[in-house]
Structures are given as C-alpha cells and as structure tokens.
Amino acid sequence: MNNQPVSDTQRRLVMLCAVLGIVLGGLDGAIANIALPTIAKDLSCSETLTVWIVNGYQLAVAVSLLPAAALAESLGLKKVYGFGLALFTAASLACALSGSIGLLVGSRVLQGIGGACMAALSGALVRSVYPRELLHKAFATIALAVAISAATGPTLAAAVLSVATWPWLFLINLPIGLIAVPLFLRVAPHSPRRSFTFDWMGALLNVGALGLGVLGVDALGQKEPRWASIEIGAGFLCAIMLYLQQRRQKAPMLPLDLLAIPLFSLSILTSVCAYAAQILAYVALPFLFQTIMHQSAVTTGLLVTPWPLLVAVAAPFAGQLAARHPASVLSSIGLTILAAGLTMLSIMPAHPSFLDVAWRMGLCGIGFGFYQTPNNLTVMTSGPTTRSGAASGMLAVARTMGWALGSALVALVFGLSEGSSGAVHCLELATGFALTGAILSVSRRVIRDEQHQQKSSP
C-alpha cells in the first residue's frame, strides 16, 4: 500500500507508533471507569452525569470509525492517523485541566474522535509497511499490545489514584503522545490516495445508526425499556437508510464491496460473535465473583487478570501458526477453547479455590488469543490493499457492534433472571456466541476450498 520502499528501521518505528496508539486507547478505556466515583465527588456532580465521561467517549468512537476510515483513503493514512494521535494527546491534557463535568465530557468526546482514528486505522497502518509474509507477526504484536493494556489498565489506575488525584490518569498519556506524534509524522510513509467527495449524508446516517444503537444499549442497561426501544428502533431505521444510501455511492463509506466478499463478511461476523462473548463474560464475571463468591473488588481484579494475560501469551504463538496453517481453522480452535473455558466457569462450584478460577480464566484467554490474530489477519488480507483503510475500519466496527450487542444482552439477562443466576446465564450465552463464531470461522475454510476447486476445474 506504500508508494516508497520501507526500511526495516522505518517499519519497526511505525509499529512502535501503532503500539503506542493502541496502548493510549487501551489504557484510557480501562482506567476511566475506576475513577468515576472520585471524579463525581471532586466535581460535585451526580453519578448519572459522571457516567457520560465513559458514554461520551464510547459514542464518539462508535460514530467516528467509518468516517475516519473513509477519510484515510482520501487524505492518506499518515494524515488521519497522525491527526487522531495528536488530537487524543491534546484532549488528554484538556481532560486533566477540566474544572467542570461539562468540560470533561466535551474533552472525552474529542478524545473519542482521536481514539477512533487510531482504532480504525491501526490494522491498515500495519499492512501498509509490512510485507504479506510478515503480517502474522505484526498482527500478533498488535494483539499483544491490546491484551497488555487491558490487563494493566485497572491496576495502573488504582496505583495512580493511591498516590495522586484523578487528573493524573489523563496526564500519564502526555509523555506517550508527545513521543509518538512527532516520531510517527517523521517515519510513517505516505500511502496512495483516491479522490472522492466526503459523503456527509452517509456520515450523518452512520452517526444515527451507531450512536442511537449505543444509546439504546445504555438505556437498556439503565432499565429504561421505553427509551431503549425508541433509540434502538431509530438506530435500526438509520442503519437501513444507510445501507440503501450507500448502495448508490461510487466509493461507499460502508464498504459494501468488501462485505460482498464471503471471506471478509464471515470474518467480520466471527469478530462480532467473539467480542459479544467477551463482553458478556467481562461484565458477568465481577458479579459472579463478588455476589456469589463474596470476593472483594481487589480480589476480583486479580481473578480477572489471567484472561488478558494468557491472551498476551497465546497471540504471538497463534501468529506464528497462522503463517503455516489456515486462519479459519486456528480461529475455530481458539473460539472452541474459549467456549470450553466459559462452560467451565458457568459450572464452577460456589466456593472454588483461586487456582480453580485461574485455570478456567486462563483457558478463556488462550482461546481468545488463538482466535484474534488469525481472524484479524484474514480481515486485513481478504480484500485489495487499496481498501485496507476500509477493512481496518470495519474490524473496529465489528468490535464495537459485538460489545454493544453483548452489553445489551447482559442488561436483558440480568433483568429477566431471578436472584444471582444472571451471571451464570450470561456465561452460558457467551458460550453460545463463541461456538457460533467457531462455526462461522470454519465455514470460511469450506468457501475457500470451493473457490480453489472452481479455479482448478477446466
């Protein structure tokens, strides 16, 4: 995808910038929740308003993913990713200096826009500088960075808050950003661009579809079924209008050309299922540990840690295997292992030892790590290199859709369940999503075999 040769040093420095961007976004997403009670007390605002520190960021990310990917194909990866990195860094400083809840939420929205540029384009950025034979190592590194930032985020937040005030949670982003922004602008190669007029109507419908969907999920979680049904229904209507509108575009923001490729669309659906299973478990497990097992919040954090930790171990290994074995098979094995781990968690005795919990969580982490790298590699390589920005954006959209779907189902399950059974039912539902993802993943192998047979037949 690059117009000029890329040296090994330049490639490593671009990867370093991509990893720093992932760490910025990952840490920020993980640490914000921890500080909400402290921020509410310090800014003298209600808990309802404070929740928008998280919701505003998530909304901004969700609605900005596809526009960021579209702009990158027009303006170039370097400009859009660099803009996102710089905006995220500047918005982090604005968050730290905010003296009111309004300024803080507004700064978090700007952070979300910057984070969306990085999340939507990290895959395309990697593909732009790595040859195909090294892509499996590159995506394993990306998965490793995501896992480590998720694992260390809550611990880092607790450590910072034990010695400093909440603004320092945002100020710790500044050194990373101040290193990454000038380095990236210096070493990143220019990528091919194609001229097109930005689709403002598509962008507005995208905001309606994803934004209202996320708001509806939040309303469902707040047990406001009337608002939830209105917002989710309106979001679904906007999604239909977006699809119809995009069909008439020569360069659609919603990459219908890529979605028409069975290998790509099945990989995206696999991602949605995997991330829905992940968020169902991530939200349900703290309730299981604290409500049923009567563990403290600190112990709960330690019990959850083996999952992201084993993702970090499994992802590089899966990347190496992806160079020699079909990604569809590896991802299916990973999701089957994830389903087994989730099943073991759901049938766990009421008073297990820490070791009993740890090996089950580790099994989930190994399964998710095995799924992630091969599947992301398939998404990024099943279409033409000129559409890497759109492919990377859809990968981020799939993750967002999976998390939104899983969050909505958690709220629904807990609302319908009696007593403390909701957490167990969520784990059972997560198992179903993992197995569905495994089936979708292995079906890619069947499609690829059929395509080979058609090409080889006279």
User: Which of 68-72, 113-117, 148-152, 324-328 has the largest mean confidence?
Assistant: 113-117
In the predicted structure, residue 124 carries a pLDDT above the cut 50:
yes
Determine the average pLDDT of the residues in 160-181. 88
pLDDT tens for 134-157 read: 887 888 888 778 777 766 776 777
Task: Name the token pair of 55.
Answer: 């919701």
User: Which of 93-102, 119-128, 212-221, 293-302 has the largest mean confidence?
Assistant: 93-102
Q: d(Cα 157, Cα 144) in Å, to the nearest integer?
A: 20
426 compared with 58, residue with greater pLDDT: 426
403 compared with 334, residue with greater pLDDT: 334
Q: d(Cα 119, Cα 275) in Å, to the nearest integer?
A: 15
Determine the average pLDDT of the residues in 294-323. 80
Work out the pLDDT band at 1, boundaries 50, 70, 90. Answer: very low
Three-state secondary structure of the chain: CCCCCCCHHHHHHHHHHHHHHHHHHHHHHHHHHHHHHHHHHHCCCCHHHHCHHHHHHHHHHHHHHHHHHHHHHHHCHHHHHHHHHHHHHHHHHHHHHCCCHHHHHHHHHHHHHHHHHHHHHHHHHHHHHCCHHHHHHHHHHHHHHHHHHHHHHHHHHHHHHHHCCCHHHHHCHHHHHHHHHHHHHHHCCCCCCCCCCCCHHHHHHHHHHHHHHHHHHHHHHCCCHHHHHHHHHHHHHHHHHHHHHHCCCCCCCCCHHHHCCHHHHHHHHHHHHHHHHHHHHHHHHHHHHHHHCCCCHHHHHHHHCHHHHHHHHHHHHHHHHHCCCCHHHHHHHHHHHHHHHHHHHHCCCCCCCHHHHHHHHHHHHHHHHHHHHHHHHHHHHCCCHHHHHHHHHHHHHHHHHHHHHHHHHHHHHHHHCCCCCHHHHHHHHHHHHHHHHHHHHHHHHHHHHHHHHHHHCC
Q: Which of 298, 26, 297, 270 is CA-nearest to residue 145?
A: 26
- Dihedral sign for Cα 367, 279, 270, 252, please: negative
Mean pLDDT of the chain: 83
In the predicted structure, residue 4 carries a pLDDT above the cut 60:
no
pLDDT tens for 208-265 read: 888 888 788 777 766 677 888 898 899 899 999 999 998 887 777 888 888 888 889 9
In the predicted structure, residue 450 carries a pLDDT above the cut 60:
no
pLDDT tens for 317-368 read: 888 888 788 888 899 999 999 999 999 999 988 788 889 999 999 999 999 9
Q: d(Cα 135, Cα 395) in Å, to the nearest integer?
A: 16
Question: What is the b/e burial string over 265-281, where b = at least 16 CB atoms within 10 angstroms of the residue's CB?
Answer: bbbbbbbbbbbbbbbbb
Instruction: Tell me what pLDDT residue 2 has.
Output: 47
Confirm if 80 and 70 have CB atoms less than 8 A apart: no
Q: d(Cα 232, Cα 210) in Å, to the nearest integer?
A: 9
Find the length of the chain. 458
Determine the average pLDDT of the residues in 78-99. 93
Q: d(Cα 312, Cα 36) in Å, to the nearest integer?
A: 28
Determine the average pLDDT of the residues in 194-218. 80
Q: d(Cα 405, Cα 428) in Å, to the nearest integer?
A: 15
The pTM score is 0.80
